[in-house]
């Protein structure tokens, strides 16, 4: 379902879409003009949705600037999971996430790699479920996508990975299956060093929310790109050596 709303603020439109399971159309005048404006809308929406349970962070390549979005605690769940028909896009991404065990609050000095590693309690395979609140999301301007939490819909979290600090993530393989068919394979995170992303998040991206907090989970970008799953088709994500995790979508 889509709905064209009268201009009354992008924040209210996105919240309306979330509450009513809609995809909204926006006028060009309502698209955030800058990345800072997009983040301001993102923050306003997040503050209405309740506690932040985690973050998504990623980058277009090893040297690219990161971007981020907060994850409402209410849509972070443990695998196996079944999502309701409101998740109509059914777009999935295989990712690696890290659970924060010690607060990384805002401060003047940048966090070092060692400090970030010491603050991480566990590593998990995850499935990010993408659900856009904006119509024609494929053609939407980047700032509009960023304002819509970069499409975050839900995060399905797998079991902790033993000995994760010794893993060569650059060579780690993943297979994504839908309905028993291997639809995607990936090797390594396209953003490169995931700890770099978490350090940026602590230094900049999460400052408005008081920094990174113990218990939050940070997912670090797709290893497979987005893939659409059919309703009632089971999804299985298997990182080499990790316990696979599963997800399915209810039909409408």
pTM of the model: 0.94
- Looking at residue 72, its pLDDT comes to 97
CA distance 247 to 170: 25
- Looking at residue 1, its pLDDT comes to 37
CA distance 98 to 87: 24
Give the helix ranges, DSSP H, for 60-131.
Answer: 113-119
50-249, which class in CATH?
Answer: alpha beta
- Looking at residue 138, its pLDDT comes to 87
- Looking at residue 61, its pLDDT comes to 96
pLDDT tens digit sequence for 79-118 = 999 999 999 999 999 999 999 999 999 999 999 999 999 9
- Looking at residue 9, its pLDDT comes to 87
- Looking at residue 30, its pLDDT comes to 84
The two three-digit tokens of residue 224, written as one number: 């497979």
The two three-digit tokens of residue 176, written as one number: 């994504």
pLDDT tens digit sequence for 128-142 = 999 999 998 888 999
- Looking at residue 251, its pLDDT comes to 80
Domain ranges of the chain: 50-249
Residues in the chain, pLDDT under 50: 1-8
The two three-digit tokens of residue 227, written as one number: 């893939």
Main-chain phi, psi angles of 206, to 5 degrees: -105, 10
Main-chain phi, psi angles of 106, to 5 degrees: -60, 140
- Looking at residue 8, its pLDDT comes to 47
């Amino acid at each position: 379902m889509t709905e064209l709303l009268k201009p009354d603020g992008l924040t209210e439109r996105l919240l309306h879409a979330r509450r009513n399971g809609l995809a909204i159309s926006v006028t060009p005048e309502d698209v955030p003009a800058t990345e800072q404006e997009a983040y301001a809308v993102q923050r306003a929406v997040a503050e209405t949705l309740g506690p932040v349970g985690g973050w998504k962070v990623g980058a277009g390549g090893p040297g690219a600037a990161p971007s981020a979005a907060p994850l409402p605690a209410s849509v972070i769940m443990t695998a196996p999971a079944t999502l309701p028909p409101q998740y109509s896009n059914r777009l999935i991404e295989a990712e690696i996430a890290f659970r924060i065990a010690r607060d990384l609050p805002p401060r003047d000095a940048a966090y070092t790699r060692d400090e970030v590693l010491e603050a991480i309690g566990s590593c998990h395979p995850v499935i990010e479920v993408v659900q856009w609140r904006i119509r024609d999301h494929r053609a939407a301007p980047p700032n509009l996508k960023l304002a819509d939490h970069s499409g975050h819909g839900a995060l399905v979290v797998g079991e902790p990975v033993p000995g994760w600090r010794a893993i060569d993530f650059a060579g780690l393989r993943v297979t994504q299956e839908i309905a028993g068919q291997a639809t995607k394979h990936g090797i390594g995170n396209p953003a490169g060093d995931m700890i770099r992303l978490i350090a940026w998040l602590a230094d900049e991206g999460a400052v408005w929310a008081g920094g990174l907090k113990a218990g939050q989970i940070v997912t670090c970008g797709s290893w497979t790109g987005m893939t659409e799953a059919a309703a009632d088709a089971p999804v299985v994500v298997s990182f080499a050596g990790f316990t696979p995790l599963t997800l399915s979508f209810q039909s409408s």
